[in-house]
């Protein structure tokens, strides 16, 4: 018997070497301006070409400004130079480019599904660790380094040892007001930041089936925060319905045959996974992180950890350092943590359903004094859709800034940053020290929770604002 992952892997093995590594064919490679310059430079230096230019798509996202005047004013000379360099490399190597002024522009992991660029049963790589997001469509999708990107450009393949499999079964149903983000944080808290190392994680079970495609993208997105490069969900009717109107070219021509073939990809039985983890969806609550790893999370009714209660010396000193960095006291109630900045965006939570859920909390209300709040839609298409639904007016009226799309404050490369000592309620994926800006204190949570926390000026369970 074999798993979804096994079946996709087997269909992509080109060769095997003595060390037990497989040469895996790559169907789709996504590039962005930050991790690709040295890959193209390597190709140029060796006089190599791109093997199959049509299998690559370059998108400007990481350091792009999100201000309205961004086409004429860059965030920094270096950032502008990097954007110009991707433009030149895409031209020189004939790689399709979604440029800053393109109506399809946005965060690579938002744009790729939106444009039908990721298909079930395919392999997808990108020089970005959150590529696991795309596994939500039933693909093997993972993040790679720049040298690997150069290898893919040149050979359309990578050498890998097949990872072990882990099935994360989510039984039951998520309660009202509990989102895929909360499930992701609960999963990471259960298996740990290193729990998925060396494994490919498949999410399955009734609660996963019930997620929309956007919810699945959020869940798979944070797989890397549990140490696994790969997170995926078996394709089903939700997947086919999402893709039908989006696919292009050969995928459009052969779509019905493809849908039929995808049905055979599902994992045979839960016994096929090397490891099997069960999560009861009915017990998941809205969560937020209080520490400096994505596993440091609690319910909104919960407390910050108390290092004094931890026996392991390494873990105790890690917690002490985390609380010091975050400016928190041991055992403090998480709903007493103040909010200075509220950020809705990133490849985790910047899609239209995310914006709708935050707007539902904010409608007719105003954020607390002193809170700086911004919404950065995941793509220009998401932005236009939100504007068509009037969501931009809800956000603006509540006191949020309404921005152009990009990675923005998730990675803090484009000038959108959290100040030293400031607490940021953020829909992004990493709460590492200094991630959103020097000394910035990140608290990860769902879009509705960010909205609720911005309204109160302290960390707040979004269900308090739901009808």
Partner 1 sequence: MTHAVTQVSGPAVLLQRDDIDTDALFPAEFLTVTTREGMGQYLFADWLRNGNPEAALGAAARPVRVLVAPRNFGCGSSREHAVWALADYGVQAVLALSFGDIFRNNCVKNDVVAAQLTPDDHALLAQAGDGVVLTLDVARASVQLPDGRSLPFTLAPGHAEQLMSDEDDIARTLRFDDALLAHEARIARTTPWLLPPV
246 to 265, contacts with partner 1 by CB under 8 A? 247-251, 253-255, 257-258, 261
Q: For residues 7-26, which are near partner 1 according to CB under 8 A?
A: 11-12, 14-15, 17-21, 23, 25
| In the complex, minimum distance from the CB of residue 46 to partner 1, in angstroms, rounded to a whole number | 7
From candidates 151, 372, 383, 458, binder to partner 1 by CB under 8 A: 151
Q: Which of 91-118 are b and which e, b meaning 16 or more Cβ less than 10 Å from the residue's Cβ?
A: eebebebbebeeeebbbbbbbbbbbbbb
CA distance 241 to 239: 5
Judged by CB under 8 A, the stretch of 165-173, 312-320, 362-370, 379-387 that binds partner 1 is: 312-320
Taking alpha carbons only, the member of 236, 44, 56, 234 closest to residue 140 is 234
| In the complex, minimum distance from the CB of residue 119 to partner 1, in angstroms, rounded to a whole number | 6
Q: Do residues 50 and 154 lie in contact, with contact meaning Cβ atoms separated by under 8 Å? A: yes
From candidates 198, 331, 390, 421, binder to partner 1 by CB under 8 A: 198
Count of CB atoms within 10 A of residue 227's CB? 18
Under the binding rule (CB under 8 A), the answer on residue 154 touching partner 1 is yes
Of the pair 127, 378, the CB lying nearest partner 1 is at: 127
Q: For residues 420-449, which are near partner 1 according to CB under 8 A?
A: 430, 432-435, 438-439
DSSP-based three-state secondary structure for 315: helix
| Count of residues interacting with partner 1 (CB under 8 A) | 89
Of the pair 227, 462, the CB lying nearest partner 1 is at: 227
Of the pair 45, 176, the CB lying nearest partner 1 is at: 45
Under the binding rule (CB under 8 A), the answer on residue 190 touching partner 1 is no
Q: Do residues 50 and 94 lie in contact, with contact meaning Cβ atoms separated by under 8 Å? A: yes
Q: Do residues 455 and 349 lie in contact, with contact meaning Cβ atoms separated by under 8 Å? A: no
Q: For residues 120-139, which are near partner 1 according to CB under 8 A?
A: 121-122, 127-129
Of the pair 1, 45, the CB lying nearest partner 1 is at: 45
Of the pair 443, 458, the CB lying nearest partner 1 is at: 443
Under the binding rule (CB under 8 A), the answer on residue 310 touching partner 1 is no
H/E stretch holding 114: helix 108-114
CA distance 62 to 184: 23
CA distance 260 to 266: 12
From candidates 2, 48, 210, 213, binder to partner 1 by CB under 8 A: 48
| In the complex, minimum distance from the CB of residue 113 to partner 1, in angstroms, rounded to a whole number | 16
Q: Do residues 110 and 379 lie in contact, with contact meaning Cβ atoms separated by under 8 Å? A: yes
| In the complex, minimum distance from the CB of residue 445 to partner 1, in angstroms, rounded to a whole number | 19
Of the pair 89, 453, the CB lying nearest partner 1 is at: 89
Under the binding rule (CB under 8 A), the answer on residue 52 touching partner 1 is yes
CA distances from 73 to 44, 68, 402, 414 (A): 29, 9, 18, 12
Of the pair 139, 361, the CB lying nearest partner 1 is at: 139
Q: For residues 24-43, which are near partner 1 according to CB under 8 A?
A: 25, 27, 34-35, 37-38, 41
CA distance 426 to 453: 10
Judged by CB under 8 A, the stretch of 140-148, 169-177, 374-382, 390-398 that binds partner 1 is: 140-148
| In the complex, minimum distance from the CB of residue 380 to partner 1, in angstroms, rounded to a whole number | 21
| In the complex, minimum distance from the CB of residue 56 to partner 1, in angstroms, rounded to a whole number | 9
Q: For residues 341-370, which are near partner 1 according to CB under 8 A?
A: none
* DSSP track, 220-244: HHGGGGGT-SEEE----HHHHHHHH
Helix residue ranges per DSSP H, 228-371: 237-244, 250-253, 255-262, 313-326, 352-362
Count of CB atoms within 10 A of residue 213's CB? 17
What CA dihedral angle connects 28, 31, 36 and 37, to 10 degrees?
A: 120
| In the complex, minimum distance from the CB of residue 19 to partner 1, in angstroms, rounded to a whole number | 4
Q: In 240-353, where do the E strands start and end? A: 275-280, 287-289, 297-299, 341-344
Q: For residues 54-93, which are near partner 1 according to CB under 8 A?
A: 54-55, 62-63, 76, 78-79, 81-82, 85
Judged by CB under 8 A, the stretch of 211-219, 279-287, 392-400, 408-416 that binds partner 1 is: 408-416
Q: For residues 367-406, which are near partner 1 according to CB under 8 A?
A: none
Of the pair 19, 176, the CB lying nearest partner 1 is at: 19
Of the pair 147, 336, the CB lying nearest partner 1 is at: 147
Of the pair 163, 205, the CB lying nearest partner 1 is at: 163
From candidates 61, 114, 148, 404, binder to partner 1 by CB under 8 A: 148
Of the pair 411, 424, the CB lying nearest partner 1 is at: 411
Q: Do residues 348 and 427 lie in contact, with contact meaning Cβ atoms separated by under 8 Å? A: yes
CA distance 266 to 6: 10
CA distance 140 to 125: 8
């Amino acid at each position: 018997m074999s798993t979804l992952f096994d079946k996709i892997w087997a269909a992509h093995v080109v060769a095997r070497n003595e060390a037990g590594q497989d040469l895996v064919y790559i169907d789709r490679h996504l590039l962005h301006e930050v991790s690709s310059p040295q890959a193209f430079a390597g190709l140029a230096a060796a006089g190599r070409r791109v093997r199959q230019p049509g299998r690559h798509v370059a998108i400007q996202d990481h350091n792009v400004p999100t201000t309205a005047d961004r086409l004429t004013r860059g965030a920094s000379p270096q950032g502008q130079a990097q954007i110009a360099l991707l433009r030149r490399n895409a031209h020189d190597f004939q790689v399709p480019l979604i440029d800053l002024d393109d109506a399809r522009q946005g965060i690579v992991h938002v744009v790729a599904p939106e444009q039908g660029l990721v298909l079930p049963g395919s392999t997808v790589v990108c020089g970005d660790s959150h590529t696991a997001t795309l596994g939500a469509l039933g693909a093997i999708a993972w993040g790679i380094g720049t040298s690997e990107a150069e290898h893919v450009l040149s050979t359309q393949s990578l050498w890998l040892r097949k990872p072990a499999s882990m099935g994360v079964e989510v039984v039951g149903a998520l309660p009202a007001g509990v989102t895929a983000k909360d499930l992701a944080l609960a999963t990471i808290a259960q298996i740990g930041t290193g729990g998925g190392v060396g494994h490919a994680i498949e999410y399955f079970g009734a609660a996963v089936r019930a997620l929309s495609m956007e919810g699945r993208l959020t869940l798979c997105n944070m797989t890397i925060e549990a140490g696994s490069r790969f997170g995926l969900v078996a394709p089903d009717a939700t997947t086919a319905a999402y893709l039908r109107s989006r696919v292009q070219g050969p995928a459009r021509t052969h779509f019905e045959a493809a849908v039929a073939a995808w049905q055979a990809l599902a994992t045979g039985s839960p016994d096929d996974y090397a490891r099997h983890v069960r999560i009861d969806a009915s017990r998941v609550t809205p969560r937020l992180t209080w520490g400096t790893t994505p596993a440091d999370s609690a319910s909104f009714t919960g407390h910050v950890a108390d290092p004094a209660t931890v026996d392991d010396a390494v873990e105790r000193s890690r917690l002490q350092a985390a609380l010091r960095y975050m400016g928190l006291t041991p055992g403090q109630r998480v709903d007493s943590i103040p909010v200075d900045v509220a950020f809705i965006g990133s490849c985790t939570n910047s899609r239209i359903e995310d914006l709708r859920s935050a707007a539902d909390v904010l409608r007719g209300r105003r954020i607390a004094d002193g809170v700086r709040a911004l919404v950065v839609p995941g793509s220009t298409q998401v932005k236009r859709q939100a504007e068509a639904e009037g969501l931009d007016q809800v956000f603006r009226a509540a006191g949020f800034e309404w921005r152009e799309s990009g990675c923005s404050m998730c990675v803090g490369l484009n000038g959108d940053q959290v100040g030293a000592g400031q607490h940021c309620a953020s829909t992004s994926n990493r709460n590492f020290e200094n991630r959103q800006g020097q000394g910035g204190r990140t608290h990860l949570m769902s879009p509705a929770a960010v909205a609720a926390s911005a309204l109160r000026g302290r960390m707040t369970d979004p269900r308090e604002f739901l009808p």
